[in-house]
Amino acid sequence: MRILVTGGAGFIGSAVVRHLINHTEHHIINLDLLTYAGNLESLEGVSDSERYCFEQADICDLTSLQSIFARHQPDRIMHLAAESHVDRSIEGPGQFIQTNVIGTFNLLQASLAHYTGLNETEKADFRFHHISTDEVYGDLHGLDDLFTEETPYSPSSPYSASKASSDHLVRAWQRTYGLPCLITNCSNNYGPYHFPEKLIPHVILNALAGKQLPVYGDGMQIRDWLFVEDHARALCTVLFSGEVGETYNIGGHNEKTNIEVVRSICALLEEYAPLKPEGVANYSDLITFVKDRPGHDVRYAIDASKIERELGWTPEESFETGLRKTVIWYLENKNWWQRVLNGDYRLQRIGASHEL
């Protein structure tokens, strides 16, 4: 098949592209605008494949999308392109509305026009897979509650509100126009190639530099952590085996408070990077509690029993094994994150694409 992956140079998108190239025979069209979080260097291991093609384009540009659909005739869509950082959405919500809502609308329109022109066999094979977040559900206050696929939406931030809006659009295009859609809502991802603004890589790199490790509020906010390569497997499982019109929650079964995560990182760095920056006796001494984020959700936790029961997916990594792999990866791949921190990755050359 020809699979169009939007946001394929981002953190989760690049993991999906790597998985598809390394573990399937499908042809991949990676569509990415290469905003600050897009990094083609995350795809160096697969970008030479004859089954890989890159298209630099904006999902908010319907004309560009129509051209790409006409040129590549994709059989399936995996829509990951999104603005995703909560703090950035609080500071500048407009870009989140533009990309996550208007961009998804344009992609749905381009997909529907393409789908309408397919023959019946091609229509039966076509899928639009929309990748979303558990943040659309708001937060959980009880310690035993879990987000299920039936949990009402109650987004708290401009980011989660924009993702909730895009989820509703996808369901409307499924019901009104018959576009065969799938939706997945995932918990917090972590792992290799994670952009340094996010909690885990931010803590790792700050600690290695001897900088403060900022923790919002009291650090007792709880998140369900999902190793990104487990997520990539789950997304491909849903794309190929999921039932049209269904939603699947994807979680790692790893609930941790933010302060637990930070302290676990410090402990691993004590083990793997014992030579500390000058003036630092223990990495944990760098932990600094800062003013809490506005509207900060208290707890997220996913009930992933549906995807396990119906599609047979379960995570392979525990939080302990996944975090250890992540810390080691950042220690062994300084060139990748140093080029992100100094901005050199923005000078990346696209180079010639293979025509699929």
Within a domain: 9: yes
**Which residues, at least 6 apart from 83, have a Cβ–Cβ distance to it below 8 Å?**
35, 89, 95, 96, 99, 100, 159, 162
**What whole-number distance in Å separates Cα of residue 352 and Cα of residue 54?**
9
Percent of the chain with pLDDT over 90: 90
- Catalytic: 32? no
* 58 part of the active site: no
Active-site entry in 52, 115, 137, 159: 159
Domain membership of residue 356 (yes or no) is no
Catalytic residue among 135, 224, 229, 317: 135
Each residue of 264-280: pLDDT tens digit? 999 999 999 999 999 99
Examine residue 55 and state whether it is found in any structural domain, yes or no: yes
Q: Tell me the residue range of the domain where 41 lies.
A: 2-347
Q: How far is it, in rounded angstroms, from Cα 214 to Cα 217?
A: 9
pLDDT digits (tens, 9 = 90+) for 1-35: 999 999 999 999 999 999 999 999 999 999 999 99
| 168 within domain boundaries | yes
Confidence grade of residue 351 (pLDDT, cut at 50, 70, 90): very low
Catalytic residue, candidates 83, 134, 139, 167: 134
What burial class does residue 307 get, using C-beta atoms within 10 Å of its C-beta: 0-12 exposed, 13-18 middle, 19+ buried? buried
The answer to whether position 261 is within a domain reads yes
**Torsion angle (degrees, nearest 10) of CA 199, 216, 155, 247:** 30
Asked if residue 156 belongs to a domain, the reply is yes
Tell me the pLDDT tens digit for each residue of 312-327: 999 999 999 999 999 9
Q: What is the CATH number of the domain that holds 334?
A: 3.40.50.720
**Identity of the residue numbered 288:** T
* Domain total of the chain: 1
β-pair partners for 147: 302
Domain presence at residue 352: no
Mean pLDDT of the chain: 95
Whole-model pTM: value is 0.94
Q: Which residues pair with 224 in a beta bridge?
A: 255
How does 191-223 read in b/e, with b if 16+ C-beta sit within 10 Å?
bbbbbeebbbbbbbbbbbeeeebbbbeebebbb
For residue 13, being part of any structural domain is answered with: yes
* 135 tagged catalytic: yes
- Asked if residues 28 and 51 have their Cβ atoms less than 8 Å apart, the reply is yes
